[in-house]
Structure 1
Amino acid sequence: MLKVLGRYLLILPLVLSGSFWAVAQATSVVFLNPGHSTEAFWVGYSQFMQAAANDLGLDLRVRYSQRDSQATIRQAREALQGPDRPDYLVVVNEQYVAPEILRLSQGSGVKLFVVNNALTADQQRLLGERQSRYPDWIGSMIANDEEAGYLMLKELIRRHGPLAPGQYIDLLAFSGVKNTPVAQSREQGLQRALAEHPEVRLRQLVYGEWNRQRAFEQAQQLLKRYPQTQLIWSANDEMALGAMEALEQQGRLPGKDVLFSALNSSPQALQALIDGRLTALIAGHFTLGGWAMVVLNDDARGLNPAAHGGPDWQLEVFQLLDKVQAQHLLDLQGAQQYGVDFRGLSAQGKPAGYRYPFSLNLLLH
Structure 2
Amino acid sequence: MLKALCRTLCLTLPWMAQAQAASVVFLNPGYSDETFWVSYTQFMQSAARALGMPLTVKYSEREPTLALRQAREVFEGPQRPDYLVLVNEQYIAPEIIRLSRGSGVKLFLVNNGLTEDQTQMISSHPERYPPLLGTLTGNDEDAGYQTLTALIAQLPAKAREQGVELLAFSGLKNTPVSQQREQGMRRALAEHPEVALRQVVYGGWGKQRAYEQTQLLLERYPNTQLVWSANDEMAFGAMQAFTEHGHQPGKDVFFSAVNSSPAALQARVDGRLSVLVGGHFSLGGWAMVLLHDDALGLPINRDGQHDHQVPVLQLIDEQKARRWLKLEQQANYGVNFKQYSAEGKGADYRYPFLIGPVQY
Which residue pairs with 1:300 in the alignment? 295
* 8 Å contact kept, 1:309–1:356: no
- Taking the aligned partners of 1:335 and 1:165, their CA distance within structure 2 comes to 42
Q: Which residues of structure 2 form unaligned runs of 5+? A: none
For 1:203, give the aligned amino acid: R
Pair 1:123-2:85 in alignment? no
For 1:273, give the aligned amino acid: R
For residue 63 of structure 1, give the secondary structure of its aligned residue in structure 2.
strand
For residue 144 of structure 2, give the secondary structure of its aligned residue in structure 1.
helix
> How much does 1:14 deviate?
11
- 1:96-153 CA-to-partner distances (Å, cap 9, x unmatched) read 0000001001111000000000000011111125877645511100001100000000
Instruction: For 1:233-312, list aligned pairs within 5 A.
Output: 233-308=228-303, 310-312=305-307
Pair 1:220-2:225 in alignment? no
- RMSD between aligned residues: 2.4
1:173 to 149, 155, 168: 168
TM-score, normalised by the number of residues in structure 1: 0.92
- Taking the aligned partners of 1:281 and 1:136, their CA distance within structure 2 comes to 36
Which residue pairs with 1:24 in the alignment? 19
Instruction: For 1:43-54, list aligned pairs within 5 A.
Output: 43-54=38-49
Which residue pairs with 1:192 in the alignment? 187
For residue 303 of structure 1, give the secondary structure of its aligned residue in structure 2.
coil
Q: Which residues of structure 1 form unaligned runs of 5+? A: none
Instruction: Rate the CA distance shift 1:18–1:356 in 2: closer, same or farther, 3 A.
Output: closer
* 8 Å contact kept, 2:75–2:103: yes
- Taking the aligned partners of 1:40 and 1:199, their CA distance within structure 2 comes to 35
Q: Which moved more, 1:190-199 or 1:343-352?
A: 343-352
1:332 to 327, 333, 354: 327
> How much does 1:352 deviate?
3.7
Identity of aligned residues (%): 58
- Taking the aligned partners of 2:351 and 2:172, their CA distance within structure 1 comes to 31
Instruction: Rate the CA distance shift 1:157–1:309 in 2: closer, same or farther, 3 A.
Output: farther
Largest Rg, 1 or 2: 1
> How much does 1:160 deviate?
1.2
- Taking the aligned partners of 1:133 and 1:95, their CA distance within structure 2 comes to 20
Pair 1:81-2:76 in alignment? yes
Which residue pairs with 1:108 in the alignment? 103
Pair 1:71-2:66 in alignment? yes
For 1:90, give the aligned amino acid: V
For 2:299, give the aligned amino acid: N
* 8 Å contact kept, 1:177–1:207: yes
- 1:159-184 CA-to-partner distances (Å, cap 9, x unmatched) read 11313685210000000011000000
For residue 319 of structure 2, give the secondary structure of its aligned residue in structure 1.
helix
- 1:204-224 CA-to-partner distances (Å, cap 9, x unmatched) read 000000000000000111112
> How much does 1:349 deviate?
3.8
- Taking the aligned partners of 1:93 and 1:235, their CA distance within structure 2 comes to 17
> How much does 1:157 deviate?
0.8
- 1:323-354 CA-to-partner distances (Å, cap 9, x unmatched) read 11111211222643112111111123434443
> How much does 1:310 deviate?
3.3
